[in-house]
């Protein structure tokens, strides 16, 4: 008797054969010499689900690992830390200590900024931009200026856009006495737990062990679910990021790096920790996204000019990468007078929010974060609303923008209309930390700052 796996019983995040078309798109964007195999990708994608499709897809996955980069590819995108550091433009980072905001207020601002920004975008996560705009306009909340209610989804909009499901999400009128759990906040709390367990010299494998210890499999998505699966199959980092992982440049790592920026004002140190975290599940721009956000938050300890913070983040990633080039282009457009509307339209023209790969990619969402920081001009409410109403990964971008603005200017910049409904508490999926006081998270962060920067 032959025992066979039942891959049809699992999500596409765990079954490589279900995402072969995503793999092909990913290979193209990485500049891999894959075009000659397009017919093979298409043929396997069309096969019925089952053992044979899995077998052919596995062979194709092995082939992908051996593909060379096309001659003339214009980007230089290493995944190893030494290679990344060799491609940086460190002159972008300004070290002046200009902030006058109390450190505790900054850390409180970062935590509340992240949690509230996440909650703003959470009800409409996975909704397309046209659906989001229809909901906001029909409820008199466009431009977005408040939390979304389940009653904002009218019967007419629900029927036209097939979005009645939003009413069942954690809208502000559906939550109880605290902020609901979300992966964007789970990872921040879990990083704090990992620093308790391993200190700031943790290894990539320590990150994987932390994942196993503190969260069940279903708490992970896309590249993280793949890495989790791969580690349980005895692959070690960085192979956990490489084996049958079509999501290797998606946003997952970019949402995991905030805490490393919370605990140090040194962008290189923050980016180093972010690399160790990201390399278990991502490559290239997937890694750079986490390093960029972590480094920005480190810069936000001391810098109060948003452009300086963004440049500080860019100083830690390869200057010939797609992420760097497109963010730099966005900054230059902003400096040359491009309007907010045109800036966001340009992102939408480059990335299709109704395509899963574009919707969840590191670069598309990083561009939204940067545009919201630039055009929000330090206004917390305006910045998180801008990040959410444009679509793509709404809760991730609201959380990241809120975290950075909160760190830069402190808790006092966040209006009570955002903080009051959560009553200073957060739910998580972290074992042993299912409901936590935000004040306790702030105090632990301050302890880590003192411990790891002495």
pLDDT, tens digit, for every residue of 363-377?
999 999 999 999 999
From residue 303, alpha-carbon distances to 228, 230, 313 in Å are 37, 40, 12
- Reported confidence tier of residue 10, pLDDT bands at 50, 70, 90: confident
Q: Given this model, what pLDDT does residue 136 score?
A: 98
Q: Given this model, what pLDDT does residue 83 score?
A: 98
Of 36, 93, 114, 13, nearest to 403 (Cα)?
114
Q: Is 47 helix (H, G, I), strand (E, B) or coil?
A: coil
- Reported confidence tier of residue 7, pLDDT bands at 50, 70, 90: confident
Q: Given this model, what pLDDT does residue 97 score?
A: 76
Q: Given this model, what pLDDT does residue 286 score?
A: 98
In the predicted structure, residue 3 carries a pLDDT above the cut 90: no
Question: pLDDT for 310-327, tens place per residue?
Answer: 999 999 999 999 999 999
In the predicted structure, residue 220 carries a pLDDT above the cut 90: yes
The residue ranges of every structural domain in the chain are 7-66, 81-121+178-452
Question: pLDDT for 171-188, tens place per residue?
Answer: 999 998 899 999 999 999
- Reported confidence tier of residue 57, pLDDT bands at 50, 70, 90: very high
Question: pLDDT for 105-162, tens place per residue?
Answer: 999 999 999 999 999 999 999 999 999 999 999 999 999 999 999 999 999 999 999 9
Q: Given this model, what pLDDT does residue 171 score?
A: 97
Kindly report which listed range (1-15, 299-313, 357-371) carries the lowest average pLDDT score: 1-15
The 10 Å Cβ neighbour count of residue 79 is 20
Say whether the peptide bond before residue 238 is cis (omega within 30 degrees of 0): yes
Of 409, 355, 358, 346, nearest to 381 (Cα)?
409
- Reported confidence tier of residue 224, pLDDT bands at 50, 70, 90: very high
Q: Span 9-38, mean pLDDT? A: 94
Q: Given this model, what pLDDT does residue 8 score?
A: 72
Q: Given this model, what pLDDT does residue 450 score?
A: 97
Q: Span 257-264, mean pLDDT? A: 98
Mean pLDDT over each residue of the chain, to the nearest integer: 96
- Reported confidence tier of residue 6, pLDDT bands at 50, 70, 90: confident
* Phi, psi for 179 (deg, rounded to 5): -70, 135
In the predicted structure, residue 94 carries a pLDDT above the cut 90: no
Of 259, 157, 225, 252, nearest to 13 (Cα)?
225
Q: What is the pTM for the complete model shown?
A: 0.97
Distance, in Å, from the CA atom of 332 to the CA atom of 326, rounded to the nearest integer, reads 10
From residue 93, alpha-carbon distances to 266, 267, 400 in Å are 11, 9, 20
81-121+178-452 folds as: ADP-ribosylglycohydrolase fold (1.10.4080)
Question: pLDDT for 271-299, tens place per residue?
Answer: 999 999 999 999 999 999 999 999 999 99
Which H, E and C letters describe 158-204, residue by residue? Answer: HHHHCCHHHHHCCCCCCCCCCECCCHHHHHHHHHHHHHHHHHHHCCH
> Quick one: CA torsion of 366, 371, 372, 373, rounded to 10 degrees?
90
């Amino acid at each position: 008797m032959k025992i066979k796996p039942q891959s049809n019983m699992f999500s596409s995040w765990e079954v490589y054969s279900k995402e072969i078309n995503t793999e092909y798109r990913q290979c193209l964007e990485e500049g891999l010499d894959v075009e000659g195999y397009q017919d093979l990708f298409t043929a396997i994608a069309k096969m019925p689900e089952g053992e044979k499709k899995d077998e052919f897809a596995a062979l194709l996955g092995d082939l992908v690992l051996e593909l060379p980069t096309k001659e003339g590819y214009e980007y230089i995108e290493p995944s190893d830390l030494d290679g990344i550091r060799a491609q940086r433009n460190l002159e972008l980072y300004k070290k002046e200590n200009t902030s006058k905001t109390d450190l505790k207020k900054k850390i409180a601002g970062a935590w509340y900024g992240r949690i509230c920004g996440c909650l703003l975008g959470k009800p409409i996560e996975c909704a397309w931009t046209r659906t989001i705009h229809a909901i906001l306009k029909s409820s008199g909340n466009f431009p977005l200026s408040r939390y979304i209610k389940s009653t904002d989804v009218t019967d007419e909009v629900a029927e036209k856009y097939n979005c009645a499901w939003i009413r069942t999400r954690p809208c502000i009128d559906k939550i109880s006495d605290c902020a609901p759990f979300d992966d964007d906040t789970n990872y921040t709390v879990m990083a704090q737990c990992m620093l308790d367990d391993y200190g700031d010299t943790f290894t990539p494998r320590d990150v994987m062990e932390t994942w196993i210890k503190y969260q069940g499999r279903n708490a992970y998505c896309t590249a993280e679910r793949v890495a989790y699966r791969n580690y349980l199959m005895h692959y070690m980092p960085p192979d956990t990021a490489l084996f049958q992982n079509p999501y290797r440049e998606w946003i997952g790592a970019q949402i995991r790096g905030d805490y490393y920026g919370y605990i140090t004002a040194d962008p290189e140190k923050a980016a180093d920790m972010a690399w160790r975290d990201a390399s278990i599940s991502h490559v290239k721009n997937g890694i750079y996204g986490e390093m960029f956000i972590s480094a920005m938050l480190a810069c936000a300890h001391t810098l109060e000019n948003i452009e300086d913070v963004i440049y500080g983040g860019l100083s830690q990633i390869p200057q010939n990468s797609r992420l760097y080039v497109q963010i730099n282009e966005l900054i230059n457009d902003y400096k040359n007078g491009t309007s907010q509307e045109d800036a966001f339209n340009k992102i939408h023209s480059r990335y299709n929010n109704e395509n899963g790969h574009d919707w969840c990619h590191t670069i598309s969402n990083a561009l939204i974060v940067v545009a919201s920081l630039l055009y929000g001009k330090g206004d917390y409410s305006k910045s998180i609303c801008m990040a959410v109403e444009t679509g793509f990964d709404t809760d991730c971008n609201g959380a990241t923008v809120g975290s950075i603005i909160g760190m830069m200017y402190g808790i006092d910049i966040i209006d009570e209309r955002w903080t009051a409904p959560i009553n200073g508490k957060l739910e998580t999926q972290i074992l042993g930390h299912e409901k936590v006081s935000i004040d306790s998270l702030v105090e632990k962060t301050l302890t880590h700052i003192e411990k790891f920067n002495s």
